[in-house]
Amino acid sequence: MTNTPSDDLFAGTAEYYARYRMDYPDAVYAELERAFPSDGRGTLLDLGTGTGLIALHLARRFERVIALDVSAEMVATARRIAAERGATNIELGVLAAEELAALDGTAEGGPYRLVTLGSAFHWMDQTRVLDLAYDRTEVGGGIFITALPGFTTPDNVHVDDHLAGTIMEVVRKHLGERRRAGSGFYGTHPEPWEVYLAASRYEGTEQGHHRFTVEWDLDGVVGLLYSTSFANRRILGDRVEAFEADLRSALLALDASGRYERTFDAEWVLAHKG
């Protein structure tokens, strides 16, 4: 499949996503603040918000936050979390980024001081989304794109990555060699983010990454897999119990302590509207 917006990509994953996905490291947020210093004014647009990680983290830096996602399940979970945290300036809605023009003429339709996308841009029509975002970004504002890996995937395991290799062996056993994505299969974009951004009307593209290490217990690793688009409980169906038993057994054979550590690179890219 191509990476077009679909509300089935993460069907059944929202609670796992909210509980087990790690937030972006402080260093990534520091890059955002350096490039786009906040003074409490303006509107933030967070596209592909998921359970609202970025929207919630940045809410105090803006008067208003508009957070959108194609998944009603994700948005419902984000609303619950926002209410629990008392984040009253976040307005969440079910809308694909490619349909942003539907908000034109409404109170939510911009302009936006900053547009953010976290771990979602690769699912979108990137050229179209950048074009729509640019038209609705304030002069002097910009766009910030970042991503965290969903622990690991069948197509990024390295030879010396024993933890990822162990996990992927179990994933392949139960789901096959080709990476799943909701009801279809994952198709990568031909170019990196920065290429799309440099070709857009935004200016002054910058990029970088920050390395950080995360530790999980056994339940955390299982829960993180259930938060993915390629190995969640809905995709596994009646294989879920066998999958989890095999996964737990393989992980304990790797490290009987039930504690697992992995280092990630959180990528980011940004640009301005002059």
Domains of the chain (ranges, CATH numbers): 14-272 (3.40.50.150)
Alpha-carbon distance of 154 to 115, in angstroms, equals 30
Query: What is the rounded distance in angstroms from the CA atom of residue 30 to the CA atom of residue 52?
Result: 18
- Residue 12's SS3 state is coil
Q: Give me the sign of the Cα torsion angle 270, 52, 123, 170.
A: positive
pLDDT at 5: 44
Segment holding 254, helix H or strand E:
helix 240-254
β-strand partners of 90: 65
Look up residue 191 and give its two tokens.
């170019």
Q: What is the amino acid identity at position 132?
A: L
DSSP class of residue 148 equals: -
DSSP code at position 101: G
d(CA 164, CA 153): 8
Distance between CA atoms of residues 206 and 267, nearest Å: 11
Q: Report helix, strand or coil for 8.
A: coil
Global pTM value:
0.89
Residue 67's φ and ψ, nearest 5 degrees, are -120, 125
Instruction: Tell me which residues of the chain have a pLDDT lower than 50.
Output: 1-6, 154
Which of 183, 254, 177 shows the shortest CA–CA distance to 221?
254
